[in-house]
Amino acid sequence: MRSGILLGALLVLIGCSGAPVVPVSDLTATRSPYAARVVREGDTLYTIAWEAGLDYRDVARWNDLEPPYALKVGQRIALGGASKNVTQAPEPAQTAPSQATTVQAEEVVVSQTPTATTPVAPSADQSLPKRVQTAHGWIWPAEGELIARFDEERNSNGIDIAGIDGDPVRAAAAGKVVYAGTGLRGYGLLLIIKHDETYLSAYAHNRVVTVQEGDTIDKGQIIAEMGQTGTDSVRLHFEIRRDGQPVNPLSYLPPN
């Protein structure tokens, strides 16, 4: 009897020791708990800042980096502007450095209006997000059912659009590709586009990408094919970052 109890306890411990499953809605922290991290193969300034929930310009300034923000493997990157004797992050991101494009963006908050017709039942505070107009004139990056919404309280940093494997993924605004790869945990095959000094957007879980880092992209251009890398169903996870922080894409996209 006693041996049976010990065996059961051992099995429970073994089951709990497996690798944790990363929810699609919890792809990156709002702010990094670490104040520094070491550059590894494939890292870029943009992915390090994205992973840490920071503005890439701040990270560049704290580390005296200038465009095109070249990094070296083993280089120590501070994730804050204070002390150099700080806790170092154990897990890296991946990518390659890229130059920036500069496009001025003007923001105007307009009256509240529904932003998408979708079967998802929104909560009271999500149904009518404030619309934000910028010089980019954002468009929807894919067609399909909206299956997940931005929710700051639940660390859902963007929206998810369901589709069919191979469906086209389009650039939501013009810009430059600053990352294409699989180095950010939970995103699968990911593209990041820089639209100006303020805005970046991300397109995750792609089956294949059709552009390369450094490419200049037109609004509406096909940049990838929808897939399910890093997740359990075919979908596009789409994020917009303003000054390094996630914002609600439905506040920028037109009514659908």
Q: What is the pLDDT of residues 145-175, one digit of tens each?
A: 999 999 988 889 999 999 999 999 999 999 9
In this prediction, residue 81 carries a pLDDT of 75
CA distances from 82 to 63, 79, 120, 132, 253 (A): 11, 9, 43, 34, 37
Q: Which two tokens stand for residue 218?
A: 């037109």
| Mean pLDDT along residues 220-244 | 97
Q: Which domains does the chain have, with CATH numbers?
A: 21-89 (3.10.350.10), 108-251 (2.70.70.10)
| pLDDT at residue number 83 | 40
Q: Which amino acid is at 155?
A: N
Q: What pLDDT does 27 receive?
A: 56
Whether the pLDDT of residue 96 is over 60: the answer is no
The two beta strands, 216-217 and 245-247, are unpaired
* Calpha distance 55→221 (Å, rounded): 26
- State pTM to two decimals: 0.71
Q: What is the pLDDT of residue 34?
A: 76
**Strand locations in the chain (E):** 36-38, 76-78, 88-89, 108-110, 131-133, 146-148, 159-162, 168-170, 175-181, 189-194, 199-209, 216-217, 222-226, 235-242, 245-247
